[in-house]
Amino acid sequence: MSPGLLARLAWQGLALHKLRSTLSAIGIVFGVAAVVAMMSVGEGARREVLSEIGKLGLTRISVRTGEFSDEAQNEAASIQSPGLTLRDAEAISEVCPTVASLAPVRQRSVQVASGQRREEALVVATTPSFARTEDIVIAAGRFVSDADLRDAKRVVVLGHDLSEGLFPYQDALGERVRLGGEWFSVVGTLAPRGRAKRGLRLGSRDIDRIALAPLTCLPAPGDAIDEIAISIVSSDEVGGSARLIDSLLRRRHRGAQDFELVVPQQLLAGYERTRSQFNVVVGSIAVISLLVGGIGIMNIMLANVSERTREVGVRRSLGASRADVVQQFLCEAILLTGAGGAVGVVLGVLGSLAVSRFAGWATATSPAAILMALALATATGLGFGIYPAWQAASKNPLEALRHE
């Protein structure tokens, strides 16, 4: 039997009960739609997180002071830990041979003003090596220099968005801005980098909205600092370097855990584990949804076989083989699940677009997700259609002809 004739007969068989066929395919439709929508959201999140971790840098390590429990703070105070200081940065530079560049950081959230314009920004006071450590790209002017650091010059480099907000119609170079209560001269502006909101939760700075100044312009008691930004010579050395730095700082801080290491490479590994778990959950939901849909398909196919027993007898008496009958009913099941899968893909794509538009989440529908959803739908039709098709083919032609 030709594929065209087989498909036409299958379509005619399903068209005998349009409403019943449609209702039985709904399980497949929503199962496939859920799979496509969830995989689109997951893929969008994956791409965004990978982008943000990539911007953090897989060869970087960040040592930070952070929010700790009262117990941890009391412990640090009891053993007189000095906290994170410039001397820690110097010790890391001396002890760890794999450090390519290192920059101590102090930062404060302040209001930056120019004339009547005011912008909330993060002031990052650091050293010239920060540009190399964080891959800073200068759009105009220059970065903080060693002379600025030595003389505590009140100069500042503005992020792209901050510069545009303060000076929308003029060049920011040479202008003066007020950071908190102090005046600074703008000596440079940064190229736009872009930063997704979700990326900030990973601990990355919004480079487009920072103001960079010499570390000596923001003094702190006891040479305390907020962070040490470190770049390692290669990604293969990150793990060992992180362990060495952690051990060094624990000794210097007398065992107090008043600092934290942020290693983007480890963040990536942790994310991949979480994504694998998410994929298992999505796969389980897909299996359950398609199982329910497949049961519905088997139900309608068994009903079709029962109602069309006489038709089977006529076809067998006219020379149709058992294989022809199996192919006809199996084609009906595959056609039903395939159509349901196609509709489900459309609904899933529309659902992911709705999530992106109204929830603000990044989504990405990959061809692999669509092909997998359609393959699962087709496999469901094949799996749950075999038994009804075989039952139809197994009927005795004489008994089938006498069936009313």
Each residue's pLDDT tens digit, 367-387: 877 887 788 777 877 777 777
Please count the residues of the chain.
404
Q: 365 versus 84: which is more confidently predicted? A: 84
313 within 8 A of 403, measured Cβ to Cβ:
yes
Largest CA distance in the chain: 106
79 within 8 A of 254, measured Cβ to Cβ:
yes
Strands 260-262 and 182-190: unpaired
- Mean pLDDT is lowest, of 27-31, 92-96, 151-155, 393-397, for 393-397
pLDDT at 59: 82
pLDDT at 116: 86
pLDDT reading at 401 higher than 60: no
Phi, psi (rounded to 5 degrees) for 64: -135, 150
Residue 120: beta bridge partners?
111
Percentage of the chain lying above the pLDDT 70 cut? 75
Each residue's pLDDT tens digit, 99-111: 999 999 999 999 9
Q: 66 versus 123: which is more confidently predicted? A: 123
- Categorize the per-residue pLDDT at 200 as very low, low, confident or very high, splitting at 50, 70 and 90: very low
Q: 350 versus 394: which is more confidently predicted? A: 350
Beta strands in 269-369 (DSSP E): none
pLDDT reading at 125 higher than 90: yes
- Mean pLDDT is lowest, of 132-146, 188-202, 220-234, 357-371, for 188-202
- Categorize the per-residue pLDDT at 15 as very low, low, confident or very high, splitting at 50, 70 and 90: low
pLDDT at 4: 61
Residue recorded with tokens 């004339």: 115
pLDDT at 145: 94
pLDDT reading at 359 higher than 80: no
Each residue's pLDDT tens digit, 246-278: 999 988 887 777 788 888 766 666 666 777 777
pLDDT at 113: 92
b/e for 29-66, b at 16 or more Cβ within 10 A? Answer: bbbbbbbbbbbbbbbbbbebbebbbebbbbbbbbbbee
Instruction: Round the average pLDDT of the chain to a whole number and report it.
Output: 79
Give the per-residue SS3 of 128-162. Answer: CCHHHHCCCCEEEECCCCHHHHHHCCCEEEECHHH
- The stretch 306-322 carries a mean pLDDT of 67
- The stretch 49-63 carries a mean pLDDT of 73
pLDDT at 196: 46
- Categorize the per-residue pLDDT at 398 as very low, low, confident or very high, splitting at 50, 70 and 90: low
Phi, psi (rounded to 5 degrees) for 226: -95, -25
Q: Is 132 exposed, middle or buried (0-12, 13-18, 19+ CB in 10 A)?
A: middle
Among candidates 317, 339, 397, which has minimal Cα distance to 7? 339
CA distance 332 to 29: 16
Percentage of the chain lying above the pLDDT 90 cut? 27
CA distance 11 to 33: 23
- Categorize the per-residue pLDDT at 156 as very low, low, confident or very high, splitting at 50, 70 and 90: very high
Report DSSP letters for 219-252, one per residue: --GGGB-SEEEEEES-GGGHHHHHHHHHHHHHHH
pLDDT reading at 166 higher than 90: yes
